[in-house]
A and B are shown apart, each in its own frame.
Chain A
């Protein structure tokens, strides 16, 4: 389809642990439309996160292809993949994964730096994004001084630092209380409304209910 920002063809991923081979994905073919809000759901250990890693170019598929904006990324080398992540993908993880030694603003600035944003513009962009997630006043706080919800909002601001084509989130509310979860959901809704492509891997039915598309992964396959 022409409006697919990302699509996969017969995607397979297996891991070798000693003599044991684990088949995480078994021929996944899917499409994610540009500007859509898609949830990937399914039981734990059935390949959701693996699928997200492959969609975001964090890993190479064992077989099959991943196309991002029409470019096959599965066969790109590590360096090119890293560059592509810096330019087109924004990641948000369950455990926030902020750099602990840096302030909220600096965390966003690092992402901007890696995306090639000039140093002079980084601070401005970081403040704008922190304001967007409602944390401008916490710009100089270290992650340890922020609540879980606030850390996740900083992580979202950081994921937006490169103005990504697609936002990939792995259980973004998995570690949050209800109030924080509602705040994050609100931000996701706003991002989607602004035209961002949002893909969320989740167990959270409330998020899944709000998604335009839901992809269910079970035993490494789409159901």
Chain B
């Protein structure tokens, strides 16, 4: 016999109470893990998308806020308020290459898909795209589509198949090689075609800008602002503001989840306090047999710690299952569409797993301190005489 064996026997003796107390901590940790893993997944996706965008500067209509910046990364619909005249003015600035993008949405087989109207030649050079199947656009006036690799797979598109955008059948001309970014799940159209279909004649949503000399970035920003009445943000600023929004959302969600962990901790306090009353006589017996106050304290603390470790482990499993199961059903919006695009592997983070179990164990042990202290300070005579 060891103290741990004794503890396990004590806990499992009252199975109903054990299960319900465990459920409290399991649900608390599961919600914590769900939010944590989804949040972690969001952050890594944002970093990946930002890198995949490949731009040093983003030009958006003036007054655009962080939400629009998130939308650029997620492929959401953006207001198309930048005129082609403004595009031309920016492109006239020396030392930078700027590509206009019109971001819209369509649906294939009732599933939403991002549609980007792009300057075909400039965009290919800007992104360094390669073609996996078929061919790239031959010119800006072509009525065809080139689709990302994941979109081709998801919607079973291949060269020769067609997609319907705004009621018009567009042939798929080529499939891009995997880029690892949002481009994989996007349908690309030549800009004039997209502008016609979405009735955004002469308008684009934003411009992605690459500068030749990074040291002169501030000067380019000034030049763009002087030439047009548009907002300019650097990729780093954009990443920072997007991550800050996501971080705030994550912290809020984790705080909500922490409340449920806290509620579960009080469940443990309640269970353990009940145990000290119910097992008063047993405590007295152990004391008579030679158990010191420290031994009694340890037994009770181990019991609550056991709840924490088991509840933490089951909570982590449940939380990850919920994250993985729920992610594909999360509706597309600026904050959650990343999750939809991300793989399961991104969500299972060892740090989250270990951290959550440790968090659960620490909370449970802290919850057990008061009941353990109460149990340990019982007088042997009083405890053993307890009816």
Contact = CB atoms under 8 A, between A and B. Distances in A.
A99 B285 contact: yes
Contacts of A99: 282, 285
B9 A82 contact: no
Contact of B290 (A86, A97, A102, A109): A86
B293 A79 contact: yes
B288 A91 contact: yes
A119 interface: yes
B9 A102 contact: yes
Interface stretch (B25-33, B108-116, B377-385): B377-385
Where chain B touches its partner, the secondary structure class is helix
Interface stretch (A53-61, A183-191, A207-215): A53-61
Interface in A75-93: 78-79, 82-83, 85-87, 91, 93
A7 to B, nearest CB: 21
Where chain A touches its partner, the secondary structure class is helix
Contact of B289 (A85, A100, A106, A119): A85
Interface residues of A, number: 32
Contacts of A93: 288, 384
Contacts of A112: 1
Given A59-B380, A119-B1, A122-B1, A114 B295 contact: yes
A101 B13 contact: yes
A158 B289 contact: yes
B198 to A, nearest CB: 71
B312 to A, nearest CB: 25
B282 to A, nearest CB: 6
Contact of A79 (B10, B292, B380): B292
A53 to B, nearest CB: 5
Nearest to B380: A58
A110 interface: yes
A82 B281 contact: no
Interface of B: 1-3, 6, 9-10, 13, 281-282, 284-295, 379-381, 384
19 contacts: A56-B288, A58-B288, A58-B380, A58-B384, A78-B293, A79-B292, A79-B293, A82-B287, A82-B290, A82-B293, A91-B289, A93-B288, A97-B288, A101-B13, A102-B9, A110-B6, A110-B286, A114-B290, A158-B289
Interface of A: 53, 56, 58-59, 78-79, 82-83, 85-87, 91, 93, 97-102, 106, 109-115, 119, 122, 158, 161-162
Given A85-B287, A99-B282, A114-B286, 19 more contacts: A59-B379, A59-B380, A59-B381, A78-B292, A82-B290, A82-B292, A82-B295, A83-B292, A85-B288, A98-B285, A106-B1, A106-B9, A110-B1, A110-B289, A113-B2, A113-B6, A114-B295, A158-B289, A162-B290
